[in-house]
Chains A and B, each alone.
Chain A
Amino acid sequence: AQTVTQSQPEMSVQEAETVTLSCTYDTSESDYYLFWYKQPPSRQMILVIRQEAYKQQNATENRFSVNFQKAAKSFSLKISDSQLGDAAMYFCAYRRTGNQFYFGTGTSLTVIP
């Protein structure tokens, strides 16, 4: 079975600093998709960034970027110039070609003013 592991239950970062959230996954497939979702206190799930496994280039979205290491099955999220609005629970997710989704247990990010 596929699993997604987020080993950091909680992280904190100073406003304007950079933080990296870790995610590893287990799969025997070569074609899949990886995502980071953000869940603020409103509970709404918001897509932060996605990566197709067949693409070697790391995805970026403004202040958010990933470090995708396919051989190591690692998919970390870097948040640059952290803002107070970045405070949320962050979930790493894996989607296999059979269309099942697997989520990690989440990392709660606190941004310190």
Chain B
Amino acid sequence: EAQVTQNPRYLITVTGKKLTVTCSQNMNHEYMSWYRQDPGLGLRQIYYSMNVEVTDKGDVPEGYKVSRKEKRNFPLILESPSPNQTSLYFCASSPIGQGASGANVLTFGAGSRLTVL
């Protein structure tokens, strides 16, 4: 089944304890991205990647890191989490290019609920 898999789905942690949220897709998509969803703010893009070793900041990158060493994986790293990073996080991917089937349409993971105490 074509999908984007995020782990963990739920996590409670404490301020300053480094954590990584993994994201993996099995559709050979070039484009991958991370979003956070907060009440009243919708989804905001954190980082995105057009391909391996290519990453760019979205609208709210502060406090986050990403890496794209393999095409299928795009982990989100919180080096020193703070309570204002408590949120629902989504990873998503899509093919790119006008000719690609489903190009520009994001396929989302199921979301990761993160609480930082």
List A residues at the B interface (Cβ < 8 Å): 1, 4, 6, 33, 35, 37, 43-45, 47, 50, 91, 93, 95, 99-106
Contact = CB atoms under 8 A, between A and B. Distances in A.
Nearest to B41: A105
B33 A101 contact: yes
A99 B35 CA distance: 14
Contacts of B33: 101
Given A43-B110, A99-B31, A50 B104 contact: yes
Interface of B: 31, 33, 35, 40-45, 48, 50, 56, 58-59, 88, 90, 92, 96, 104-106, 108, 110-111
Contacts, number: 54
Contacts of A50: 104-105
Given A91-B43, A99-B31, A100-B58, A44 B111 contact: yes
Overall SS of chain A's interface: strand
A104 B105 contact: no
A93 B108 CA distance: 14
22 contacts: A33-B104, A44-B108, A47-B105, A91-B42, A91-B43, A93-B43, A99-B31, A99-B48, A99-B50, A99-B96, A100-B45, A100-B48, A100-B56, A100-B58, A100-B59, A101-B33, A101-B48, A101-B106, A102-B59, A103-B42, A105-B40, A105-B41
